[in-house]
Structure 1
């Protein structure tokens, strides 16, 4: 069952009052939250995932929550120390590891006993499993599994069985499941992973929306675009197909490589601009000529400006942020009908959808935008309007705030 919850624009009244408590490992000098603030724990497995929710913890802190962020150690976690109620490093391994997982679970239980939060919002598989099981063991009343994706979709054999069991265990430990896209909600519920729990959705989905004030093509200076072109050694007078993201098999990059080969054979003067870094050691799917690698960049906006089209040939997603960013930057998007990706564009309006793994169809979609520049411009302009209408961060964040508050026990009730 999938339930859609529309964003609420105005923040409501605070939930029940809780005593203000401070963990001894908080960053010194931070002002404590007001005594009336409900305490919320946000968690993802790796600190490297925190940029995906940039600004969200701070928004909830300003909205009246006492926010504590828990991830593995890293500079992205440390950077939050002065703007939220607390940051806590719990090392968590992404892959199954019984001994390390047991140690992490024990650390989680100790942490939650000390913090005594009113709610836990947990994303990414390992952090969600450990954080929500620990939250259930310690009596946290509101335990929300923030479903960002379904890793098991692209696995087989024993690993798939293990991941299926862990997804079911995570949902069982949660009081609610909150998905980031309609198709992911349907996939999770349809596979029987949610049990009897509803799979909720706020608006059109997304983990954190897109900052359309930041991702605005008018704010990127021409000098920045030229500098990015030089850094990537981009060739002039070529149709630029862009990819932004991790270099990993789940992104379908082998299909993109084959589609670029087909374009070259058809006489299309195209090149591939790759923005991102290797996620799987030794994995390099690109064999065609005219591949330009920018690596990981601090600001992708000048690189978006270099692209004629963004291509995400993915095999699975939750809700791909890069598609929303490209749309906000007025770049047409070609992606697949895979879970999550299918919800990230308006097919025929802001971009084109193709079946995952189909290089011929992918090449056909890219060729269509190469041949019809007017269509590409219309899709780019429509993409920005669409991103601003459906994925505005202020509205989405307010929706999350209200969603969490609705789950809190009534004032005066015991846990």
Structure 2
């Protein structure tokens, strides 16, 4: 019997590698033949080895680039016509637009797009209108739109991007859940822990704030660094750890020069670059700070929850689906340095309460967001649609 052929598409391979870890392998084990598509990148060999899938590259660009985008559309159309997938499932905005359009043009019967963030929410003027139009075109080209959180679903409906009957949330949300065997303090290797402790010159007399993500404007780095600077004289035992690449590829994503200067030169701020060992930093940190302006259903919050690391995050869609203020963490008003500063002060003075919040969130993560459960829910959705 011929296997159902599933084509998974993301803009860059990092998304398949990190956001959808082991999901394609899960579907392969369930009887699907899975093909993966993204732009080129160093993660591809690792993905192919881990997931056991065939991989194809299309030169997607995250920037708005009509000529490149049209070329990618044509290349993807030819790929779809050649490989004849039964089902196309896209993830990330540019892959969603081009992947859904190409699969609709080619007559693919089952077309699904996961929404894990809405770029227009942090844009203005003509660019905002263009990005809204792109979302509408992506959703029009799909059979089902799969927002990965209830609040994201609410935003989609608020802006009338698609009819309600085309929206489906898989399980309780999340694109891929969390591997509770991996993100488990008991599973950490002491050799790696000691290596990181040495790297940050760890001291038991210090407390550590942790930021994980791309160092760009939309991740709220400016507000975080400003709040930290405002507090550092009164809380001299705190250090800010920044785990993620510093990116200034696009002008609108850049952060102010004075913030970059603080990151590079402030002795109590450590820019550690990209790391595959986030779980170790979460185990070391006293608090995770997640000040992003827009999200879908951020994995780092699930990771922090599984590791028992207390959370302080912005009150945006995605975050608010997981963190309930003073129940499972602290929420502050997005893009508000003063409010973030106030919440940091609360956390510094109420460490016992923060641990209670973290334990509450750990219980929720275990009950609702175990990776295998989330993947099974997605598989059930695929099978339901195939049988209709």
Query: Relative to structure 1, is the Cα distance of residues 233 and 115 closer, same or farther in structure 2, using a 3 angstrom cutoff?
Result: same
Deviation at 1:61, TM superposition (A): 0.7
Distance 1:310 1:81 in 2: 32
SS in 1 for 2:270: strand
User: What does 1:31-46 align with in structure 2 at a 5 Å threshold?
Assistant: 35-46=1-12
What SS does the corresponding residue of 1:271 show, helix, strand or coil? Answer: strand
**How far is the alpha carbon of 1:336 from its aligned partner?**
1.1
State whether structure 2 residue 145 is matched by structure 1 residue 177: yes
Equivalent position of 1:154 in the other structure = 122
Partner residue of 1:383 out of 361, 374, 382: 361
Over 3 Å counting, the alpha-carbon distance change for 1:234 and 1:274 in structure 2 is farther
CA distance 1:324–1:267, change in 2 (3 Å): same
d(CA) in 1 for partners of 2:104 and 2:10? 17
2:325 paired residue among 324, 347, 362 = 347
Answer whether contact 1:180 1:201 (CA < 8 A) is retained. Answer: yes
**Candidates 268, 281, 284, aligned match of 1:303:** 281
Q: Check whether the contact 2:61–2:69 (CA below 8 A) recurs between aligned residues.
A: yes
Tell me the equivalent position of 1:367: 345
CA–CA separation in structure 2 for the residues paired with 1:78 and 1:225:
27
Structure 2 counterpart of 1:56: 23
CA distance in 1, matches of 2:85, 2:189: 45
| Equivalent pair of 2:292/2:314 in contact (CA under 8 Å) | yes
1:8 aligns to what? none
Cα offset for 1:373? 2.5
In structure 2, C-alpha distance between the alignment counterparts of 1:189 and 1:345, rounded to whole Å: 22
Output one character per residue of 1:239-287: Cα deviation in whole Å (capped at 9) or x when no partner. Answer: 2111011111101111111211232244453210111111324646352
- 1:190 aligned to 2:158? yes
CA distance in 1 between partners of 2:130 and 2:201 (Å): 44
The equivalences for 1:16-415 within 5 A come to 35-50=1-16, 51-82=18-49, 83-195=51-163, 197-234=165-202, 236-267=204-235, 269-281=237-249, 283=255, 285-286=259-260, 287=262, 289-408=267-386, 410=388
DSSP 3-state at the match of 2:107: coil
Aligned alpha-carbon RMSD (Å): 1.8
Instruction: Report what 1:28 is aligned to.
Output: none
Unaligned segments of structure 1, at least 5 residues: 1-34, 411-415
2:47 alignment partner, SS class: coil
Q: Which runs of 5 or more residues in structure 2 are unaligned?
A: none
- Indicate conservation of the 8 Å contact 1:37/1:64, yes or no: yes
Q: Distance in 2 between matches of 1:227 and 1:376?
A: 27
Q: 1:162 to 1:199 in 2, by over 3 A?
A: same
Residue 7 of structure 1 is matched in structure 2 by none
Q: Is the 8 A contact 1:167 1:193 kept in 2?
A: yes
Q: Secondary structure at the match of 1:80?
A: helix
The structure where helix makes up a greater share of residues is 2
Change (3 A) 1:301 1:114: same
Query: Do the aligned partners of residues 262 and 99 (structure 1) sit closer, same or farther apart at CA in structure 2, a change above 3 Å counting?
Result: same
> Aligned-pair distance for 1:85?
4.2
Q: CA deviation at 1:380?
A: 2.6
TM-score (norm 1): 0.86
> Structure 2 CA distance, aligned partners of 1:344 and 1:393?
16
| Kept after mapping to 2: 8 A contact 1:175/1:197 | no
